[in-house]
Amino acid sequence: MTFRDLKAQYHALEADIDKSIKEVLNSSAFILGKPVQELEKELADYVGVEHCVSCGNGTDALQLVLMAWGIGKGDAVFTSDFTYFASAGAASVLGASPVLVDIDLNTFNMDPADLERKIIKTLGEGKLVPKVIIPVDLFGQPAQHHEIQDIADKYGMKVLEDGAQGFGGTIKGRRACSFGDAATTSFFPAKPLGCYGDGGAVFTNNDDLAETLQSLRAQGRSSEDKYDNRAIGINSRLDTLQAAILKVKLNAFKRYELINVNKAAEMYTERLKEIVKTPVVLSGHISSWAQYTIRLENREQRDVVQKALKEKDIPSMIYYPRAIHRQTAYADFGFKDEDYKNTMEAVETVLSLPMHPYLEEKDIEYISQNLKEAVKK
Ligand SMILES: *Cc1c(COP(=O)(O)O)cnc(C)c1O
C-alpha cells in the first residue's frame, strides 16, 4: 500500500498526460510556453480571483509576495507554529522575524485568539512592527480566514494565505487561495494538486501586485525593456512541462479527485470516530484532505500504533514531528514551549493515514480494522 498513490493517478490519466508532455516536447517552448498562461487562467478562474502568477515552487511563491510588499528587517510576520518550515522560513530569508502562533487542536490551524495575543505582545515589546499574517490551510482545511481578516484589519496588517495544502478547500463556497490580500499554493507532487516536480503559484485580485510579481519572478525586470531591471528579484518560473501536466491534473481534480478524497475521509471517520480523535472540519468549511490526520492519546500510543500498522504494510506519517519554534535555526529566537501548548501536544499525538483520490473502500476498511486492533493493544 502507498501513502499517496501517484502511480494510480498517473495510470488513470496516462494517455492525456503523455499527450500533453509530447506536445510540449514538439513545441520546444520549455520556458513560459503557452500551457503556462493557459494554466494560470484556469487556476485563477477555479479559485475565483483575478490573477494567478505561477512560479518555481510554493516557498518562492510566499517569498515573492513578501518581497513585493517590501517585508524585511524589523518586520514581524505571524504564522502558525505547526506547519511546514517554509511558512516561517520565507519571512526569515528576507530578514524579517517570524512570530509563531499556537494552533487550535481540533483543526490544527492557527488559533485566532492566540494570534491577537501575540500581536499585542509584539506591539508591547516595541521591537518589531507587525506587518503580515500568514495563515496556513493545514492538511487541506482552510484556516479561520474570516476571524483572521478581522484581526488583520484591526491592526492594519496584510494577510498572505499559505494554501499549499489547502487548494480546493472552501469556506461557505469561497475557495481556498482566494482569502487575504494574496494567497499561494504549491504543486509539489504530494500536494492536493501536484505536478511531476516543483511548482507553485500566487493568487491575488490586486492588479499592481500581480504586475510586480511577474517582474520579481523574472529577476525584477522592467516590463518595457527586458534588459533593464527595475528591482532585485529572483528567477522562479513554472516549467511549461509542469504546466502541461497540471492542466490534465486540474481537470481530474475538478471532475472527481476532490470529491473522492472527501468520500474517503467520510469513510475513515465513520469507522474511526469512536476509537481515535478523527479530524474536525468546521461548519461551513470543506477540506481538500491534503492529509487525513488523527490524534492518539499520547506519544507512546501513537508510536505503538504506527509500528503495528507498518507490520501490516500500512504506511503512515507524522506531520509534523517538530514544531517550528523548536527548529534549530530558531534556537536563539527565545521561543518558549509554554507559549505553544497545543502545538506541543499535536507533535506528540498526530498520525496521518494514507489519503488520495484513488484509495478504495477495501483499503480504508483494512486500515481501519488494523488501527482498531492496534489501539486496543
Ligand atoms: C509544501 C508547503 C510549502 C512549500 O511548498 P514547496 O513547493 O515545497 O516549496 C509551503 N507551505 C506549506 C504549508 C506546505 O505544505
The alpha carbon of 271 and the centre of ligand 1 are apart by a number of angstroms equal to: 30
| CB-ligand 1 contact for 143 (6 Å cutoff) | no
The alpha carbon of 58 and the centre of ligand 1 are apart by a number of angstroms equal to: 5
Grid coordinates 492529509 are at which residue?
291
The alpha carbon of 27 and the centre of ligand 1 are apart by a number of angstroms equal to: 30
Taking the chain (377 residues) in runs of 10, the rounded mean pLDDT of each run is: 97 98 98 97 98 98 98 98 97 98 98 98 98 98 98 98 98 98 98 98 98 97 92 97 98 98 98 98 98 98 98 98 98 97 98 98 98 93
The dihedrals phi and psi of 30, each to the nearest 5 degrees, come to -80, -25
Amino acid occupying residue 115: L
- Other C-beta atoms lying within 10 Å of the C-beta of residue 271: 17
| CB-ligand 1 contact for 58 (6 Å cutoff) | yes
| CB-ligand 1 contact for 165 (6 Å cutoff) | yes
Q: Using CA atoms, how far apart are residues 313 and 337, in angstroms rounded to an integer?
A: 35
Among candidate residues 267, 256, 212, 201, the one with its CA nearest the CA of residue 61: 201
| CB-ligand 1 contact for 200 (6 Å cutoff) | yes
Q: Give the pLDDT score at 190.
A: 97
Ligand 1 binding pocket mutation candidate from 59, 82, 195 (most atoms within 8 A of CB): 59
| CB-ligand 1 contact for 141 (6 Å cutoff) | no
Q: What is the DSSP string of 21-88?
A: HHHHHHHT--BS-HHHHHHHHHHHHHHT-SEEEEES-HHHHHHHHHHHTT--TTEEEEEESSS-THHH
| CB-ligand 1 contact for 79 (6 Å cutoff) | no
Do the Cβ atoms of 287 and 169 come closer than 8 Å?
A: yes
Q: How buried is residue 24: exposed, middle or buried, by Cβ count under 10 Å (0-12/13-18/19+)?
A: buried
Q: Give the pLDDT score at 58.
A: 98
